C-alpha cells in the first residue's frame, strides 16, 4: 500500500523553486525524463524533481493545469526528519514566494538594495532602478 499523498501548492516556476530549496538547504534532483522518489517500505514513484529528506523524498509532480504538487510519504518524513507536511509546505511556500518576487523585481529592471525580515515574519524589500 502506498503512503504517497499530495499537498496543494501554487508552484509553477521550477527556477524559483530550486532557489527556494537552495535557500532552505534542501538537496534536490531534477530531470525532465524523471527521477526516482523514495517512499514507505521501498515504494518508489517517478517525478520530474525530487527533494531529498533522508530516507524518504518529496516528489515535485506537474499536474494537468501546469502547476506543481508536492507528493510524499509525509508520515515517513515526519517520523524520520521531524518535519510535518504543513511545516514543510509553509516554509517552502514562503521561500518560493520570496524568490518569485525577487525574480519579478529583477525582470522589471530593479535592483534589490536591502531586504529584512519584520517582526511579524514578513519580508521588506527596498529596490531601486537607475536609468
pLDDT tens track for 14-37 = 999 999 999 999 999 999 999 999
Domain that holds residue 86: 5-128
Q: What is the pLDDT of residue 125?
A: 80
Q: What is the pLDDT of residue 120?
A: 80
CB 47 within 8 A of CB 60: yes
Which residues of the chain carry a pLDDT beneath 70? 1-9, 131
State the Cα–Cα distance between residues 14 and 11, nearest whole angstrom. Answer: 8
pLDDT digits (tens, 9 = 90+) for 47-60: 999 999 999 999 99
Overall number of domains in the chain? 1
C-alpha cell at 53: 529528506
Q: What is the pTM of this model?
A: 0.85
Amino acid at each position: 500500500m502506498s503512503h504517497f499523498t499530495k499537498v496543494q501548492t501554487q508552484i509553477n516556476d521550477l527556477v524559483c523553486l530550486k532557489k527556494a530549496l537552495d535557500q532552505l538547504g534542501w538537496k534536490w534532483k531534477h530531470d525532465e525524463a524523471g527521477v526516482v522518489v523514495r517512499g514507505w517500505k521501498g515504494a518508489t514513484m517517478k517525478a520530474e524533481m525530487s527533494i531529498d529528506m533522508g530516507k524518504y523524498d518529496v516528489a515535485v509532480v506537474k499536474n494537468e493545469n501546469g502547476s506543481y504538487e508536492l507528493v510524499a510519504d509525509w508520515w515517513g518524513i515526519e517520523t524520520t526528519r521531524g518535519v510535518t507536511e504543513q511545516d514543510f509546505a509553509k516554509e517552502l511556500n514562503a521561500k518560493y514566494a520570496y524568490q518569485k518576487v525577487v525574480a519579478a523585481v529583477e525582470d522589471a529592471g530593479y535592483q534589490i538594495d536591502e531586504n529584512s525580515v519584520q517582526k511579524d515574519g514578513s519580508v521588506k524589500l527596498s529596490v531601486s532602478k537607475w536609468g
